[in-house]
Structure 1
Amino acid sequence: MKRLFPAEFVLPGHPDKLCDTIADRLVQEASTHEKRALVGVEVAVHRDTVTVTGRIACEAAHTIDVGRAVRDTFATAGYGYPPPSLCSGDCPARDQGSCALHPAWMPAPRDLKVSQDLCLGPLLDGETDFRAVSDDQSIVTGYAVDLPGTNFLPAEQWFAAQMARRLESLRAERLDLRLGPDGKILALLEEDGDSRRVTAVTASLQQQIGGDSIALHRAVLEVLGAQLAQAAALVPGFSPDIPATTVVNGAGNFAVGGPEGDNGLSGKKLVCDAYGPRVAIGGGALSGKDFYKADRAGALLARRLAKLVVMTGGARECTATLAFFPGDERARVLSLVDGGGAQLDGRRWEPLLDLSLAGVGDCYTGTTDLTDVARHGHFVAERPWETLTVV
């Protein structure tokens, strides 16, 4: 039976993803001060204003430069004026701040107004040990499918994320296209048994007024062809054919983007961060929370458990649902369900994993670049928590 699955992903300059990245940048900064730092922050952006709220508790928390974290995130996403080194001679960018080939993308990091309402200070007496205990309730979902080529992720979500990375690279490789930092992609994948084909793709890519839209469409088709070829090589039954429906900037010119075009908020791209709309999510955000927080730690535990079931041959597809009650040290396994809806006996796999909050926090805090995690995915193969040794 044919089924159609959608998936989307956004580029680093998307307003919501800017917020996620700032939030995770602060998590990473706090963890360098203290391994068991407590971080729970949220970020909002609109035009040139960035608001950061929440709590950061660790040694020397007041020395964390929130403004620098915000501005660095905008800069590395591609906002601001081009560096003078890019332009030489009589290039107008040397005097005007931008030119046709090297446009300025607003808001510029140096012009941002950063507002913060943060509880900054040390962990309270006894709070370091209490990090191993859940301070809130949480429902989390993990998923895996027997597709090693996608790192056991749904094919459509993996494809959308890979396409987004290629489109991000296109901005640096094709300066003539005059692309900005903001963008997103949506793909439709048709499954018919073990056969898969992309039936439609739409990409929205920020482009300077006067940029060649026809050249951009051709460039996207080239990128799409390359990604489809890679997918066909890695995923059995994946068609390399370019879909007849490929839309680029279907709503017209997309010159005003990022926070200038829309407001942003951390935690709004939860489906992108997880497995796409094929899989139900618990609802808790990952970015902006340290690795001892039940929402984040639980999501990693659920993913590892589902992946373990699939990698050991317990099911071709598995969804794991876990929960934490306030005061729990270990995740409660509510269900393991295969692709057909049948319940699996969790007692076979639960003893093989450490399902404790302390296990996640102690193992994974400070082990990877959280800027990259926020921008490019929590469950891609290179993340340390994605490694499972099956004997």
Structure 2
Amino acid sequence: MYLFTSESVSAGHPDKCADIIADYIVDSLLELDPNARVATEVFVVGKHVIIGGEVKINSTLEKEFYIDIAKKALKKIGYPESGFKIGETLNPEECIYEVYISRQSPDISIGVDRNNKEIGAGDQGMMFGFATIERDDFMPSALMFAREIRDILYKNAKSNPDKFGVDLKTQVTLDYGTKENFDNCRPQRIDKIVVAQSHTGDILPDDVRKRVKELIFQKASFADKYLDENTQFLINGTGRFVTHGPIADSGLSGRKVVVDTYGGYAPIGGGSQSSKDYTKVDRSGLYAARWIAKHIVAAGLAKKALVEIAYVIGEPKPVSVTVNTLGSSSENISDEELSIKIAEKFSLTPKWITEKFGLDKPSADSFLYHEIAAKGQIGYEEYPWEKIDEIEWFRALV
């Protein structure tokens, strides 16, 4: 056996509640002003929702603006579910909201908003892109299996609020058989599935476990290929999960970066994506790095690709672009050559990334940041940064 584990969490998880509120704010401010600068953090604990940070926008907003957004976000997530008693789940109408929003420092604006229409990086830092041939979407398997189970159970909870809560976690342990199989992107079977599913107090623990297993076997796309008689199911390990969500545990924006990106298969950057506008390279740099890594693998240049892009605050161009194919390259081009050619071909400035992916114009017709926060920052083909639209250039490198 050679095992690797990844996890995921639903929109109702306390940390995700915070992320979704934060990105609902980003969506709303960019709708009012595409040049808005946003860096807000959210803390949810018990019945308290605390919003703080810095904003620069061409209009004056009252605290009620942010409070209304937070309520909308929590209701869209699915709170409160009908089957739970007071004190077991969150009710957005009963929460106490505190808002501490100040104006973005002019010292940052000096470097970000340039006279030549270019955009300087909103902060220093490094971001990573990763891709693998394990799946058609070029994402690592354990993470995407955990996400798929999450989506199945979350949909069930939203459809049955009298029985299940929207706060849940999933975890998948994948058996690659050997280290060689892992290196060559060949998963063999699922060894363990771990689920924490909130539920009403009148449902017996064994009934919760039975229903969760039924849903996975019936609806998971990977069930026939990767589940077998030796797959272990560990569902609600304490036996009971009634009190849930921020009522049971605090949530903070930016804490689920591994869940949002590569599930531990690859390094993560220096900061989270949620709560930030497109000038913050923690967000835009991640999208660009993933786009490059995906192209490298899709073009057949390597079985795996890890791309690092680094920036300094106030400067548009990255200070470094580095490709590492993790010993899986086709041997027709070196990692050094790939790094140089990619850096020469694509400017990778915040403005270039923003214009290519439309990051300043989130909408229901393209993408909304708060919906991305709920699903994951990368890995879904409908995202603009998942489009393989420069594949011929990458193939020509061979």
Alignment of 1:185-224 (within 5 A): 185-192=170-177, 193=181, 194-224=186-216
1:98 is matched with none
In 1, Cα distance between equivalents of 2:321 and 2:341 = 14
Distance 1:135 1:49, change over 3 A: same
1:49 is matched with 48
In the alignment, structure 1 residue 158 sits paired with structure 2 residue 150? no
Q: 2:100 aligns with which of 113, 117, 120?
A: 117
Distance 1:27 1:242, change over 3 A: farther
Give the secondary-structure state (helix, strand or coil) at the position aligned to 1:187. strand
- Kindly state the Cα deviation for residue 243 of structure 1 after the two structures are TM-superposed: 4.8
Give the secondary-structure state (helix, strand or coil) at the position aligned to 2:222. helix
2:349 is matched with 356
> Match for 2:193: what amino acid?
V
In the alignment, structure 1 residue 106 sits paired with structure 2 residue 89? yes
What do residues 125-154 of structure 1 show as CA deviations (whole Å, max 9, x unaligned)?
9964477101321111110012443x1111
- Kindly state the Cα deviation for residue 365 of structure 1 after the two structures are TM-superposed: 2.1
1:134 is matched with 121
Distance 1:319 1:251, change over 3 A: same
Distance 1:34 1:240, change over 3 A: same
Alignment identity in percent? Answer: 24
In 2, Cα distance between equivalents of 1:121 and 1:283 = 20
Q: 2:166 aligns with which of 176, 181, 188?
A: 181
Give the secondary-structure state (helix, strand or coil) at the position aligned to 2:34. coil
- Kindly state the Cα deviation for residue 180 of structure 1 after the two structures are TM-superposed: 1.1
In 2, Cα distance between equivalents of 1:261 and 1:50 = 14
In 1, Cα distance between equivalents of 2:341 and 2:223 = 34
> Match for 2:228: what amino acid?
D
- Kindly state the Cα deviation for residue 172 of structure 1 after the two structures are TM-superposed: 3.0
- Kindly state the Cα deviation for residue 361 of structure 1 after the two structures are TM-superposed: 2.5
1:365 is matched with 360
Alignment of 1:266-305 (within 5 A): 266-305=253-292
Distance 1:175 1:212, change over 3 A: farther
1:309 is matched with 296
Give the secondary-structure state (helix, strand or coil) at the position aligned to 1:203. strand
Give the CA RMSD over aligned residues: 2.4
What do residues 59-82 of structure 1 show as CA deviations (whole Å, max 9, x unaligned)?
224157100111111111121264
Contact 1:309/1:349 (<8 A) preserved: no
Distance 1:338 1:126, change over 3 A: closer
Give the secondary-structure state (helix, strand or coil) at the position aligned to 1:43. strand
> Match for 1:305: what amino acid?
I
Q: Aligned pair count?
A: 365
What do residues 341-385 of structure 1 show as CA deviations (whole Å, max 9, x unaligned)?
776121333344341101222322223111210001111221111
Distance 1:37 1:348, change over 3 A: same
Contact 1:5/1:189 (<8 A) preserved: yes
In 2, Cα distance between equivalents of 1:21 and 1:195 = 32
In the alignment, structure 1 residue 322 sits paired with structure 2 residue 322? no
In the alignment, structure 1 residue 69 sits paired with structure 2 residue 69? yes
Contact 1:40/1:289 (<8 A) preserved: yes
Q: TM (normalized to structure 2)?
A: 0.85
In 1, Cα distance between equivalents of 2:236 and 2:197 = 6
> Match for 1:383: what amino acid?
Y
In 1, Cα distance between equivalents of 2:361 and 2:50 = 25
- Kindly state the Cα deviation for residue 10 of structure 1 after the two structures are TM-superposed: 0.6
43-52 vs 355-364, greater mean Cα deviation: 355-364
1:264 is matched with 251
2:236 is matched with 249
In the alignment, structure 1 residue 33 sits paired with structure 2 residue 32? yes
- Kindly state the Cα deviation for residue 301 of structure 1 after the two structures are TM-superposed: 1.2
> Match for 1:208: what amino acid?
T
332-341 vs 135-144, greater mean Cα deviation: 332-341
Q: 2:323 aligns with which of 327, 336, 339?
A: 336
2:396 is matched with none
1:385 is matched with 385
2:217 is matched with 225
2:155 is matched with 169
What do residues 150-202 of structure 1 show as CA deviations (whole Å, max 9, x unaligned)?
x11111111111110111011134456x1112110111011132242110011
Contact 2:281/2:311 (<8 A) preserved: yes
2:7 is matched with 8
Q: Which runs of 5+ in 1 are unaligned?
A: 83-100
